[in-house]
Structures are given as C-alpha cells and as structure tokens.
Structure 1
Amino acid sequence: MSALPQFPADRLIARADQVGSAASFVCAVHCASFPVLLALLPALGVSFLASELLERSFVLFATVLALSSLIAGYRRHGSLKALQVLVPGLALIWFGSFGPLHHDLIPHAVLMTVGGVLVAVSHLRNQRLSRRHVHGPACAH
C-alpha cells in the first residue's frame, strides 16, 4: 500500500512541530535545572546562557514558531486541541519571563518549566492531528 502524497506545506508544518517540540523540551529541562546551572555557569565560562536577553529572545522565537506552526496545523486539521494546550503554555512562559516573578528563582523556574512542557505537548498534539488528517473528498477546506 503506497503512502499518501504529502504536500510541501504539510512537511513544513511537521518540521516546525518537530523543532518546536524538541526546543520546548530542551527549554523545560534548562528551566528546571536553572537554579543549579546558575551556580555552575560562571565556572564553566558560559555565563551568557543566564542572560535575560537570551531568554527573552528565545521566548519570542518560541512564540512565533509555535503560533505559526499551530495556526497552520489548525487550518489543515480544524481541531483546537493543540491550541488549547499552547495558550496556557505561552501564558506561563510569558509571565515567567516578563512578569513580576522573573527574578524569583524558584517560581520563575517552575513557570518556565511547566510552560515549556505545555508548549512541547501542543507541538506533539498538532503533529498527531496533522498526521491523522487526510485531504480528500470529505475534506472541508
């Protein structure tokens, strides 16, 4: 049985979700281990990884990647299930990065970790929904 042809946009959405979920999990691990890393970074000579600018830049990148990937996925499969996980994940990440708890080490790490995991799960959910959807006569778009 031959596989159904995959459109270039479908491959792009799938690749964006793969990159997004991997990056979000790495972010979550980074945030969870941040209190320990904060003490070790200067000794390792990589203290720039604790930079506020780097963190906020990554939050902006993750937001743009997630929104574009999940909105494109929604247009393809028509399900809000992935976006329902993404929105609280992004809210936690934005609150953790730009909110009043940003400089409180443990609350910041918790917010960023939980938010990163939710963003990663939303990418995985979007990937699964996109794989299940098949363009054909019953397709409504």
Structure 2
Amino acid sequence: MNFRINWEALGIAASVACAIHCAVVPLFITSLPLFGVNIIHNVFVEILLLGAAFVIGFSTLWHGYKKHHHHWGTLVPFTVAMGLFTANQFVKFPYSSFVFVVPAVALIITAHMLNHRFCRQANHCHSTDCNH
C-alpha cells in the first residue's frame, strides 16, 4: 500500500483546529474552574499548541515550496504570523490580542492561499530544480 500525507489538507485542518480552539475557549471560560481545570492562559498548553501549529503549517508550506513552486512568498508571512502569535503570549497590554492576533490570522490565511495559488500555477513543472 502506498500511503501519502496530504500536507495541504493537514495544514488546513490544523488551522481549522486552531480557529475552533480560539472560538470555543471563551465559551468555556466560566465553566472550567468549576471542574478544577485550568487550561486557559496556561503557558505550557499555549506553547504546545503554537509549536504544533508551527510545525504542521511550516511543513505544509515547505512541501509546496520545495516540491512545487519554489517561492518564498508563502513561508515569510507564515513565520511572521507565528511570531505575532508568540508575542501575543508574552507581551500583554490593552488590546494586545487584537494587535497581534488579527494580523497573524490574516497572514496565515494569506500564506496558505498563496501556497495554493503558486502550486496550481507551477503545474508540477518537473524542471531540473524539482525533486519529485
């Protein structure tokens, strides 16, 4: 059996999981302390989620870069976005989440859309610098 991972689908799934996490956590803020669970503002959990999102997202974009389009325009906005997410964890001031998270989400969406577009435009050229 030949099993291949669809990195683009995995990256999109990780982004959706992150979006669900960010949307659902506020809904449970008031009920989690009743159960003795404290994952909100838990630095370990947030760093773990950021790390997983970075590894999966960067792997997806790296695959598109290395195997298809050879364009850095996808990796740079994604890396900047992950830096903004990380800064949001450690730099706190009024509206810091708005200042860091909104541009980060926009950059991640842009990176994945560009990756998709560049992969379609490359049309699997199989030139001498392609390694597939």
The letter for the 1-side match of 2:81 is: G
Q: Which residue of 2 aligns with 1:48?
A: 38
Unaligned runs of 5+ in 2: none
Is the deviation greater in 66-75 or in 12-21?
12-21
Q: What is the correspondence of 1:1-141 to structure 2 with a 5 Å cutoff?
A: 12-26=6-20, 29=23, 34=26, 38=29, 40-42=30-32, 45=35, 48-50=38-40, 51-76=42-67, 77-97=69-89, 99-101=90-92, 104=93, 106-108=95-97, 110-136=99-125, 138=127, 140-141=129-130
Inter-partner Cα distance in structure 1 for 2:115 and 2:21: 19
Identity of aligned residues (%): 16
Give 1:119 shift. 2.1
Residues 29 and 122 of structure 1: is their aligned pair in 2 closer, same or farther, counting only changes over 3 Å? farther
Give 1:75 shift. 0.5
Please give the root-mean-square deviation of Cα atoms over the aligned residues, in Å: 3.3
Residues 134 and 108 of structure 1: is their aligned pair in 2 closer, same or farther, counting only changes over 3 Å? same
Which protein has the bigger helix share?
Answer: 1
Give 1:133 shift. 2.5
TM-score by length of 2: 0.69
Inter-partner Cα distance in structure 2 for 1:52 and 1:131: 39
DSSP 3-state at the match of 1:20 = helix
Inter-partner Cα distance in structure 2 for 1:131 and 1:46: 49
Runs of 4 or more, structure 1, over 6 Å off, are: none
Task: Count residues in correspondence.
Answer: 127
Higher RCO (CA 8 Å, separation ≥ 6 residues): 1
Unaligned runs of 5+ in 1: 1-7
Contact 2:78 2:111 in 1 (8 A): yes
